[in-house]
Structure 1
Amino acid sequence: PVAAPAGRASAAISFARAQLGKPYVWGATGPSGYDCSGLTQAAWRAAGVSLPRTTYTQINAGRRVSRSELAPGDLVFFYSGISHVGLYIGGGQMIHAPRPGAPVRIAPIDEMPFAGATRVA
């Protein structure tokens, strides 16, 4: 069982949930569309935490955690070049902005090659 998110993680997840269905727009940081790192940056900004803009820099924000340590609110990263990020919500699921033509959605973290995770708050 995964503990319910608390505090800032809960606020970040609530923000991300409210974005479900919005379009993926490359380079966008909201409010009408997002790319992957724009969504995670906006979600954590809504929780009072400042994150860098890109996936490549977000992986170095906060403390690295292993896949077995994942908790709701953690940033989860994918592919060997660290080219995608999502917001972990528990139960093996994340909210992410997947790609052009695919809206912000909930998806399993197993659908892409896992590369690492960071806890920012």
Structure 2
Amino acid sequence: MAKKKKALKKAKNNALVAEKNEEAMIEGILEGSPDGIGVVIVRLECGCKKMAAVARDGEPASKLIMYRDQAESICSKCKKDNGDFMRVTEAFIHWTEPEPSDATKEKINAKVLGTMPATN
């Protein structure tokens, strides 16, 4: 049982967070999305990123924005496949303050990002 608690604690400490260069995009997205309670951030292996605000019911609260840091446009792969899910390296939701309850966050995460089978 102690191992399980330790593993859970480690998982929380390793939670994905927005990078400094993503914070300005997050603020801009939320500013134009009054219903947004968070921003979905999807990082792709090519370096491109997808972002969109999410509402309390898990539905989109903004249009999807695709961009690449310090570049004029997204890469040629993303132009062809629109950032295919097979090339996703990380995906998470950056929550606004005050954050919703853990149960609400879990429900929205499952709806937006899907669920993964637990591995032992």
Short-chain TM bin: under 0.3
Structure with larger Rg:
2
Greater per-residue helix proportion: 2
Higher RCO by CA contacts (8 Å cutoff, separation 6 or greater): 1
